[in-house]
Amino acid sequence: MAPSIRKAIGAVKDQTSIGIAKVASNLAPDLEVAIVKATSHDDDPASEKYIREILNLTSLSRGYILACVTSVSRRLSKTRDWVVALKALMLVHRLLNEGDPIFQEEILYSTRRGTRMLNMSDFRDEAHSSSWDHSAFVRTYAAYLDQRLELALFERKSGSKANSGGSSSHHSNNDDRYGRGRDDFRSPPPRSYDYENGGGDLRGDGSGYGGVPKRSRSYGDMTEMGGGGGRGDEKKAVTPLREMTPERIFGKMGHLQRLLDRFLNLRPTGLAKNSRMILIALYPVVRESFKLYADICEVLAVLLDKFFDMEYTDCVKAFDAYASAAKQIDELIAFFNWCKETGVARSSEYPEVQRITSKLLETLEEFVRDRAKRGKSPRGN
């Protein structure tokens, strides 16, 4: 189909949807119209005007939030145009970062109502030629947002936050021959990006692709909300990382690593690498990955501090976490290098990513083997 014809058809579809929304929407016709305009078929980022209108309307009541989730979910499920799907996911991302915390709950609870909003595993574009790579990005972007919500739910239930662990440690005297010092791997200082205070918008300012929300929240901010979040509920107590049980630490690490996997899968391929819309969508996700990397470093640092005093089974789990994280970090470095070359954010914004050395992995593996031979208690003979 010729681009001009496709564009005309897309415009007609948008106008039809707007007309239906004005007539058929019982609760929030203005909201429905703004959502259609923010997720239109034209391949330009949504106007900030419509995003702000959606944010303002959904701040009025939970009913508007539910109507918004329902409308966006319907838009995602019906469209076979990767541009519309991508803009809808970008809208979801903005709502998660800037909207009422209840958005997180409503999107999670949509599964219970039989509609998993971010399940886009079967999405295929039918509106453009040579759009396989673009469809793949849409699927991986939805999977990333879905896993981010899963992590938020885990942290809310466990009352944890990655950066509550601090960096101090106390070592016992046994097994010093394994080099328990922190020089092999340490968590980098916070830098570049704070989830709490972003700046800019998704339309860009000439300093890279896109921007970040002015009031963004981390995927873990649900831990500070007792259910309704932002509407008067009491805050839930936060458990410092170092005070968590090994089971909870490993649970957190698993969620963080799964989210990192989803992020790494977002690297565009083929024709999608040159798509302006996709690079704009990628920008805020890349910025979030800086915090994700810091959180993973924090957990790795705690695991290393506790490693030589752990039970044998926990030592094995910690070693496995280090081994898998080493591979992920290698991929992360390659992804970041590609992003810098492509112009996704300034090079100065990126954290200095530290590889997990083969020497450290060998040291940990040697200790695990030694523990297996001499007994599986931390102080076994």
Same domain, 219 and 140: no
Same domain, 43 and 178: no
Last residue of a domain, one of 136, 154, 172: 154
Same domain, 178 and 239: yes
Same domain, 188 and 85: no
Please provide residue 105's backbone torsions phi and psi, each rounded to the nearest 5 degrees: -60, -50
Same domain, 77 and 190: no
Same domain, 129 and 238: no
Which CATH number belongs to the domain containing residue 313 in this structure?
Answer: 1.20.58.150
Structural domain containing residue 45: 3-154
Same domain, 218 and 114: no
What span, in angstroms and rounded, lies between the C-alpha atoms of 156 and 251? 13
Q: Is 233 part of a structural domain of the chain?
A: yes
Same domain, 186 and 274: yes
Same domain, 146 and 171: no
Same domain, 133 and 197: no
pLDDT of 279: 97
What span, in angstroms and rounded, lies between the C-alpha atoms of 366 and 38? 56
Same domain, 295 and 316: yes
The number of domains in the chain is: 2
pLDDT tens, the chain, 381 aa long: 556 555 555 555 555 555 555 555 556 789 999 999 999 999 899 999 999 999 999 999 999 999 999 999 999 999 999 999 999 999 999 999 999 989 988 888 876 676 778 999 999 999 888 899 999 999 999 999 999 999 988 888 876 554 444 433 344 334 443 334 334 444 333 333 332 333 333 334 433 333 333 334 444 443 343 344 444 444 566 788 999 999 999 999 999 999 999 999 999 999 999 999 999 999 999 999 999 999 999 999 999 999 999 999 999 999 999 999 999 999 999 999 999 999 999 999 999 999 999 999 999 999 999 988 876 556 554
